[in-house]
A and B are shown apart, each in its own frame.
Chain A
C-alpha cells in the first residue's frame, strides 16, 4: 500500500517536472556561463549570416552570442516584449531619431566605446544631446534596379535613362511591347502587402520629403506642405500602370512576388535597395545589374541614389556590466576583425562606416560610389524623420486604395500632409 502511494507521488512529480522543464532549461545554460551577448537583429535577410558570425565569435572567444531576428515589420513589437524579459537583448537597433524617442532611456552611452573611435564620420552617430545613443553599422542605397540584359533586348542602354521623362518613355514602350519582349511588364508588381509596401510608403515617400526639406533647408519638420506630391503620384502611377499585374490586385502582392518576377526575367525594373544584392547575385552577374536613381522629375540631372541608414546599434543600459562589456567587445570585433568585416561586407553585402571596413563586393554599393564621384548628390534618408509607423501605415492604406481605385489621390494627400502634423504632435505627446 505504502509503496503504491510513493510510486504515484513520484509519477505525478515527474509529470509536473516535465511540464515546467520546458520553460526552465534555456535560461539556466545561458546564465551559468557568465557574460553573454543577445542581439536582436532587424534585418531578416541577414539572419543566417549573423547566426554564423555569432557562432564564429563564440568559438574564438568563448562568449556566447544569441542572435534573434524579428519578422519583417515586427521589430518594435518584438523589441517591446523582449525588453521586458529578464534576459533582455543587450544589443538592439533603433531606426533613427523617431525610434530613439521610445528607447532613449535604455541606451548606453557609446561615446567612449572602442567602436565609436572607428566610425568614419560624425554623421553616423545617433546623438541625444552629448550622449551617443546609437551608432550606424551599415550604409545602404536604394533606387531602381535594372535588368540590363532585358533593357538591351528592348533596344535601350542604361545611359538612355537620365530623367523621369526618359524613364517613363522607355517603361511605356517596354510595357506596350511586353509580349514581344517576353516580359510581363516593365516594373515588378508594386505589392502593397506588408512585406513589400515599405518600398512605397517609406522609401519612395522619402523623395518628396527630401526635396521639400532641401527647399526649406530643414532636416525635420512639424508640418509638411506636400509640395512634391504630384511627382510622387507620377512615379507611383508609373509603377502601377507599367506593371506585371492589374493595379487592383496589388493589395495581395508580396515582396517575394516582386522579387520572384525580377529573378524570373518577367520585369525590367525593380525598386529596391543594395540589401537585395545577396538575393539577386545568385542569379545575375554583376554586369547584368544596374541601380539607377528614382528619377523624380525635380532635379534629375543631379539626383543620385538614395543613400543613408536606418540601422543604429544601441546597447542596453540595463544589462549587467559584464554583458555590456561583452556586447561592446562583440560589436567591435564585428567591425574590426578580419572575420567580422569579411562577413559583413562579403556575406551580408553591407558597406560599414568604419575605418577598418573592407571594400564591399556589392555591385550596387560600387555604383553608388560611381554616381557620387560623377558629381551626383545622393538623396539622404529622411524617412527616419517620418512621425510614426502609424503614419506610414495610413499612407500605405491610402496608396493601396488608390491603386485599387477604391480611393482617390486626395486621400493619399491627406494621409501624407494632414496626418503628418497630427502624428508629429502625437509622437511628442506626453
Chain B
C-alpha cells in the first residue's frame, strides 16, 4: 500500500525541492562554469574567450593574491577542522554524563549557531577590538594579520563547536549499552572503553563532522568579510573573499571572468579534498 501510493505521489514530494534545486543551484552552477571562459561585465552579456582567464591566473599581476589566499585557506581549513572536532567531541563527552542542567549546557553551547555569520563577525569585531583597546595593546584585528587569523579561528570554533557537539552527542547516545557493559565485564577501564569501543562506534558521526567542518572552513566567507575584511593588506583574505574581491571589487571587464575562473578552481579543490576525506573516514567505520 505504502509503495503504491509512493509511486503515485512522489512528484508532489520531490518536485518542489527538485525545481528549487535546479533553479537555485544546478543552473547557476553550469552557467558559472561557462562564465569562467568568458569576458563580461554583467552575466547576461558575455563574450567567449576560451582559456584566457585560466592563463591569466598564472600571471602574478592578475591573480591578485590568489596564492597567498589559497595556502592561508588550506591552513585555516585544516586547523579549524582539527580544533572544532576535538573540542566538539570533548564537550559532547562531558555533556553525555548524567548531571543536573545538562540540557541547559547543551543549549548554551549550541546557541552561537543560531546567529548568522555576518552578524557574528561584526559583533566579535566590536567585542575583541574593544577588549584589545581597553588593554592598551594597540593591536586590533585589522592591524595584525596574526591576530586576525586567530580571531577568525576563534570565532569559527565558538560558532561551530556546539553544532558538532550535537552530532557527537547523538552518536555517543547511540552506542549500545550492551557493548559498553561487555567491555566493562572484560575489564576495560574508561579510557579503553572510549578508544576501543566508543570511538569506532561513532565513526559515522566523525565522518559527517569532519566533512562539514572541512568544507565550511574552505568556504568561509561571511565571518571573514565581517571580522577582518582581509585587512591588513590582504593578510587575512581567504579564498572565498579573494574571489569575491576579484569579481566585485574591480572595475573593468577582465576581472569578473577571472573571479569566475578562480571560483571554478576553488570548487574543484573543495570537492577533491572532501572526497579524499570521505574515503579516508568512511573506511574506518565499523559495524557492531
Contacts and interface: CB of A to CB of B under 8 A. Distances in A.
- Do these two chains really belong together in a complex? yes
How extensive is the interface on chain A, given as a class?
35 or more
B198 interface: no
Among B45, B139, B251: residue with most chain A CB under 10 A: B251
Interface in A47-66: none
Contacts of A88: 42
A337 interface: no
Contacts of B20: 19
Given A246-B138, A394-B233, A397-B233, A102 B251 contact: yes
B248 A77 contact: yes
Interface string B112-144: 000000000000011001000100001110111
Interface in B245-262: 248-254, 256
Contacts of A389: 249-251
A405 to B, nearest CB: 7
Contacts of B253: 102
Given A84-B43, A249-B140, 17 more contacts: A19-B16, A76-B249, A80-B41, A102-B41, A103-B41, A192-B142, A248-B139, A251-B142, A389-B250, A393-B249, A401-B143, A404-B138, A404-B139, A422-B61, A425-B61, A429-B62, A429-B254
Interface of A: 9, 12, 15-16, 19, 76-77, 80, 83-84, 88, 98-99, 101-103, 105-106, 192, 194, 246, 248-249, 251-252, 388-390, 393-394, 397-398, 400-401, 404-407, 422, 425-427, 429-430
A395 to B, nearest CB: 11
Nearest to A80: B248
B7 to A, nearest CB: 14
A425 B254 CA distance: 12
Contact of B233 (A80, A106, A401): A401
B250 to A, nearest CB: 6
A194 B229 contact: yes
Given A248-B138, A252-B133, A397 B251 contact: no
B143 A98 contact: no
A293 to B, nearest CB: 30
Contacts of B30: none
A246 B251 CA distance: 35
B133 A406 contact: no
B44 interface: yes
Contacts, number: 98
B146 to A, nearest CB: 11
Given A19-B16, A251-B142, A401-B143, A430 B254 contact: yes
B118 to A, nearest CB: 13
Interface in B218-248: 229, 231-234, 248
Contacts of A251: 140, 142-143, 231
A398 to B, nearest CB: 7
B245 to A, nearest CB: 8
Interface string B1-35: 00000000000100010001000000000000000
Contacts of B143: 248, 251, 400-401, 404, 406
A82 B45 CA distance: 13
A7 to B, nearest CB: 13
Nearest to A318: B45
16 contacts: A16-B16, A76-B251, A77-B248, A80-B42, A84-B44, A99-B251, A103-B41, A248-B138, A252-B126, A389-B249, A389-B250, A401-B233, A404-B139, A425-B61, A426-B250, A427-B252
